[in-house]
Structures are given as C-alpha cells and as structure tokens.
Amino acid sequence: MSILRRKMIVLLTIPPRKVWPGVHSVAQALMIRALTILSFFGVVAASSSAIVPSAMAQPFVEVETGTYPLILSAPHGGYLAPDSLADRTCTACVTVRDSRTQEWARALADAIETRTGKRPWVVINLLDRVKLDANRDVGEAADGDPHAAAAWATYHAALDEASEAVTSEFGGGLLLDLHGHGHSQPRFELGYLLSASRLRQSDAELNQFASLSSIRALHHRSGESFSTLVRGSESFGQLLQLVGVASTPSQADPAPLSGQAFFSGGYITARHGSRDGGTVDAIQLEAHRPGARDSQENVVALAENVADATLAYMQRWYADATWSERIPSSDGQSACLSQRGDELVLQGDCASGQVTLYDMLGRRAILLEMNPGQRTTLPVMARGVYIAQYLPHNSARSGRVSTITVLL
C-alpha cells in the first residue's frame, strides 16, 4: 500500500509539459521585431511630451520579444556613432564601451532557446556610449541631444513593455542587465543594489537590507533569508561558480574584499528591478574581460555557461513563472541530497527514498531508489540543468520533499 502511495505522490508532482508557442521563422521574427519597434515608438510618442521622439531613434535600439520570463538588457555594447548625434561631453560621464556585451546578449538568448525552446526578451542599445548611456537618467544618458533622448526613451519603454508582458503572462520574472568591467579581479560582479561594504557585513546584518535590493520581490515571495538568496548554495553567484564562472557575491566568494573595485548595480537595476515594486527582479551582471569577452569565441562559450546557471536559477526561484505546476519547494531537508561531481549523494542520517530528476521542461527524466549514505553515479544524460527531488519513504505527505539543482 505504501509503495502505491509513494508512486502516486511521484506522479502527482510531475508538472505537466506546457505547450509553448512555436519558434518563429526568420521572416516572422523580423516582422515581429519591426512591429515591436513601431509600437514602442507609439508608446513614446503618446506618453512623453518632454522628450520628442524621432524616427532616428528607431534604428538605435534592437528589441526582440520573448516567450520566457527572462529579459536581457545590454546598454553599453553599442557601436553606432552617427555624426547627427552630438557626442556626450558632460564632465564625469563615462564613454567606455563594455566590449562584446551585445554579442553576449544574443548568444545568451540563443543558448537559452536551444535548451528550452523558449526565448528571452532582448533589448540592446546599438548606439556607442559616446552618444548614449542607457544606464543613466536621461540627463546624463543623452547629455541634451534630442535624438539620443528619444533612443533612451525607446530603450526604457521596451524594458517596461517586456516587464508588463512577462508579468501578465507568467506572474513575474527576471531581468539581467549585461555589462563588462575592467577591474583586476577576473570574476563576475553581481549587482543587487548592495554596496561592497554592505556585502562585507554578516549574514544577519545583510538580512536587514532585502527591501533596498533589486530582488525584493523574490525575497518576499520565497520566504528565504535574504543572505541565502544573495550568497547561499543556490544563489545566482553560486550557480555561476558551479558552471565555472567565478562570481561575487556567492557562497564561495561572499563579498569583494576591502579595496577591491565592485559595481553594485545602476539605473536599470534600480528602475526595472523590484526594489520599488512589481514582480520582475533585476540583477546587474558585470563580466570580466580575460577569457570571457576577449574574443567572439569566448563570449559564446561564456553565454553557454551563463545559460546553464541562469536556467538553474530560474527553475529554483522562478518555478511559478516557468512551469505550469510547481515542483514542491524544499522543506529544509535539502541537506539530505547533494551533488558531488557526477554523483548524487544521500546523507547517512536521512531515510531511504525515491529521487526523481526533472528536465528543464518539467519532464521526469530519471527515477532512482537511494539508501542512506549511498553514492549513485548519474547515468549518461544530455548536458543541462535538472531538478532532483527527494521523497523519503518514511514520509506520509507529498509536501515532505526536497529539491536540489543538478548541473550536468
């Protein structure tokens, strides 16, 4: 009887496969992109009297509509520098390009689509930073040039539209703002609107600052301590570490050391994240250059790794948005199950039970029986991200499960 019951529990927790819109043909995609740009132009024209929209702004912002609750923004990787726009000459204005970040955004979108069949939203500023800085308020962004100001308005209208679409279709989502830094430490700097000195505080102190961060909605929704979300074992930084991308803050590298340069987030994370409301969170990703952005080949490889970490993060923390039925969340027993290289390990003081691996579409991939202390080599599976769910046999309720993220 108990075996039957356990089987039923497993079956009941399998999320049904969701049917997603098909991949568009190139012609359809181009038409959608054109319509999207036109619609944003309309939004800008209707909503702003201070900023005069210009047809010239349209070629300067690349917008791609998505089918997944993820928004990619690349404000500092542009190359276009037409003479018709004035150079930004404001004192203290930064004009350095974050090299290969628009290429990174497209490669990351491609890698996510390859793995899931779904595509994130993509918004790219094509203008050189000497003409427009889309990660500043409009005054500093355009330095008074009306065409640059119109492109700035288009950029942020596109992010607003993406956020509204993601919220209405999925209930919420995540925006990744992609940048590149030239600091001496070759690691990602993750910006949650938390300064380096704040990150150097204890977990207990850090836990006080959730409402000041760009993942405020995630904190509210998840019920986890804030420090767990920022630098726990399933934080974005730690998932990046797992795929070989050094990152701070993370479990392995909880904060920049005193004296180390660090970018904590900017205008886009503040405006389009959840600090001031809404259910779309934002994280600023500042990628180092050596081995990451120093060639087109490396930026594509970087995108593959970041896609794995991003999907693991989305599955762990945005399951409501990405799956039609949520796999039950951890009840504190996740310490029972862990991954060591290509092995799954069940701790010796945990009950025997069933372990189920789900793939990225919520399909059950593997079902294993495991005993206390057992190490099981994972079978040969497609490279990707899986959720492992542990159901102890001594549990009578389907809620007594735990999940971990397995990266292969």
Contact 193, 214 (CB under 8 A): yes
CB of 94 to Zn ion, least distance (A): 8
Tokens of 95: 């004009």
The residue within the footprint of Zn ion, chosen from 62, 64, 98, 128 (CB under 5 A), is 98
Using rule CB under 5 A, residue 76 touches Zn ion: yes
Using the structure block, give the residue that is written with the tokens 């390859």: 114
179 binds Zn ion (CB under 5 A): yes
Smallest distance from the beta carbon of 306 to Zn ion, in angstroms?
Answer: 16
CB closer to Zn ion, 76 vs 131: 76
**Could you say whether residue 129 binds Zn ion (CB under 5 A)?**
no
Q: How far is CA 53 from CA 31, 38, 322, 352, in A?
A: 22, 12, 35, 64
Residue 219 or 293 having the CB closest to Zn ion: 293
How far, in Å, CA of 25 to CA of 375, rounded? Answer: 46
Stretch that binds Zn ion, among 27-35, 91-99, 199-207, 398-406 (CB under 5 A): 91-99
Stretch of 73-81, 193-201, 327-335, 348-356 lying at the interface with Zn ion (CB under 5 A): 73-81
Question: According to DSSP H, which parts of 235-370 are helical?
Answer: 236-242, 267-272, 296-317, 319-322
C-beta closer to Zn ion: residue 120 or 266? 266
Q: Report the distance separating Cα 319 and Cα 311, nearest Å.
A: 10
Residue closest to Zn ion (Cβ)? 179
Is the bond into 249 cis (omega within 30 degrees of 0)? yes
CB-wise, 9 or 302, nearer to Zn ion? Answer: 302
Tell me which stretch binds Zn ion (CB under 5 A): 143-151, 171-179, 242-250, 303-311: 171-179
- In the complex with Zn ion, the residue whose CB is nearer, 65 or 284, is 284
Pairing of strands 343-346, 337-340: antiparallel
CB of 158 to Zn ion, least distance (A): 18
CB of 76 to Zn ion, least distance (A): 4
| CB-based contact 100:77 (threshold 8 Å) | yes
Stretch of 96-104, 234-242, 254-262, 344-352 lying at the interface with Zn ion (CB under 5 A) = 96-104
Single-letter amino acid code for the residue at 345: V
* Longest CA span, the chain: 78
Kind plus residue range of the DSSP H or E element containing 388 = strand 385-392
Residue 120, by phi and psi: left (phi above 0), alpha (psi -120 to 50) or beta? beta
Q: Smaller CB distance to Zn ion: residue 76 or 156?
A: 76
Closer to Zn ion by Cβ: residue 76 or 187: 76
Instruction: Give the burial class of 270: count Cβ atoms within 10 A of its Cβ; 0-12 exposed, 13-18 middle, 19 or more buried.
Output: middle
Q: Which of residues 88 and 219 has its CB atom nearest to Zn ion in the complex? A: 88
What string marks each residue from 244 to 283 as x (binds Zn ion by CB under 5 A) or -? Answer: ----------------------------------------
Tell me: does residue 133 bind Zn ion (CB under 5 A).
no
* Least distance from Zn ion to the Cβ atom of residue 6, Å: 51
- Contact between 51 and 149 under an 8 Å Cβ cutoff? The reply is yes
Give me the least distance between CB of 263 and Zn ion, in Å please: 8
- Please tell me what DSSP assigns to residue 378: P
Closest by CA position to 313, among listed 62, 120, 76, 130: 120
For binding to Zn ion (CB under 5 A), which residues are involved? Answer: 76, 98, 179
